[in-house]
């Protein structure tokens, strides 16, 4: 009788553990996706600044400010 109760408890704990592992894996994948997206946006911003400096668009902007 006691063994049957322990088996049910172990099975339930195993089910909860699998859910926690699944949530952990999904959160880790979401975190990695977020890091990749932020790195990509940072690279886009760096490329935009490089284009502005290379094409000397900042000279036009300086005239607009005056």
- The predicted-structure confidence for 32-47, as pLDDT tens digits, reads as follows 999 999 999 999 999 9
Please state the pTM of the whole predicted model: 0.60
Q: What is the mean pLDDT of the chain?
A: 80
Determine contact, residues 58/52, Cβ cutoff 8 Å.
Answer: yes
Give the relative orientation of helices 57-65 and 2-54 as an angle to the nearest 10 degrees. Answer: 80
- Cα 63 → chain centroid: 40
């Amino acid at each position: 009788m006691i063994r049957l109760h322990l088996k049910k408890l172990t099975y339930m704990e195993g089910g909860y553990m699998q859910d926690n592992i699944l949530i952990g894996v999904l959160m880790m994948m979401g975190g990695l996706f977020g890091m990749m997206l932020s790195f990509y946006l940072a690279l886009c911003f760096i490329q935009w600044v490089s284009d502005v400096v290379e094409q000397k668009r900042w000279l036009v902007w300086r005239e607009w400010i005056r």
